[in-house]
Amino acid sequence: MRIATFAFLFCLGCGSSTASTGSTVDDALDSGSGISADQACADAAQAQCQKLDACHVNGVALRYGSSALCVSRVKANCLSSLGAPDTGRTPANEEACAAAYASATCADFVQNTIAACQPPAGTRAAGSACAYSGQCASAFCAFAPGAACGTCAAPTTPGQSCASSQCADGQTCLKAGAVCQTFGAVGDKCSATSECQIGLTCVGAVSATATAGACMAGAETVGAACDRTTGPQCDEVQGLYCSFVPKATAGSCVKYLTATSGACGFTAGVGTTGSSYTICLGGGQCIIPAGANTGTCVPDALEGKPCDTVNGPGCLTPARCVTPPGATTGTCTLLDPTVCG
């Protein structure tokens, strides 16, 4: 079983992948603003990585391991999106997006709804192949699970199926029923914390396939009271975990433990000592065998390496795990927009 604690959206140049197109887009100057793609993407990458840390405790360490790696991969993805055929994106768009991060709310950051960062419409019609939403006249490139390229389509609406495509910005895929919905407010049904607005946790969900839970404000300080059954739960975004003694449901918030390798997952409390939970840094996933509480940190794989969407490893953002239809194993791939259509 692959445990991905801290599901957290991150707009990587508001595209879908990174590629090396062999173009000179990084040296070209925007005709309107006079700024180069290289400078705009460098500014956007720096701003995005800073915002990730500002909105999530240890966000960069969890996703990438280091700020340098975050910036380099986000910048490369940005340059790829600017070099994509038929894109509406320009260096001026990226520079405006970079400037907008400082004042954007964390909710807009997490939900990819920062207005200045939305991709301008491209020229490709519905049904055309795409790698980035900015190539599409609809400004939405829908990706089937494991697909090497996406398809230009109308953005999803709440209630629409997400079984064969991701949801549009501002929406999340509800695991129970596989339908798109807006991020849950207090009291909204949920099956996972990632389906709730930032700062809220999903309390009372019995499984990832049943919407028995409800979004509730999370406790945000070390030592705050929590209850893993009735709530409040501890806010994961603040790096907190609800620690409890054996056979109890109530406890207090403590900091998550972290590891770059080795053991991870749940460690039960003993006597009056509360439980703990260890998460993996550097893009690693905690792979826990069925029926167990603890597992091993498995680093996300780089492009060209094997991946498994169920059992791990995953792929280091923004690489995607490209698989044959119906399969869960494949290869981490940085999609080249020049081959998608």
Longest Cα separation, the chain: 68
Any idea which of 21-25, 79-83, 214-218, 220-224 has the lowest mean pLDDT? 21-25
Q: Give me the helix-helix angle, 67-82 and 37-55, nearest 10°.
A: 130
Q: What is the mean pLDDT of residues 94-116?
A: 96
| CA–CA distance, 304 with 310 (Å, rounded to integer) | 18
- Position 217 pLDDT exceeds 70: yes
Q: How confident is the model at residue 70, as a pLDDT?
A: 97
Tens of pLDDT, residues 222-249 = 999 999 899 999 999 999 999 999 999 9
> Greater confidence, 284 or 6?
284
Q: What is the mean pLDDT of residues 166-195?
A: 92
- Position 20 pLDDT exceeds 70: no
Backbone phi, then psi, for 200, in 5-degree steps?
Answer: -110, 155
Per this entry, what is the length of the chain?
Answer: 341
Predicted TM-score of the model (pTM): 0.87
- Position 13 pLDDT exceeds 50: no
Q: How confident is the model at residue 32, as a pLDDT?
A: 58
Q: What is the mean pLDDT of residues 171-175?
A: 91
Confidence band, pLDDT 50/70/90 cuts, at residue 211: low
Tens of pLDDT, residues 121-170 = 999 999 999 999 999 999 999 999 999 999 999 999 999 999 999 999 99
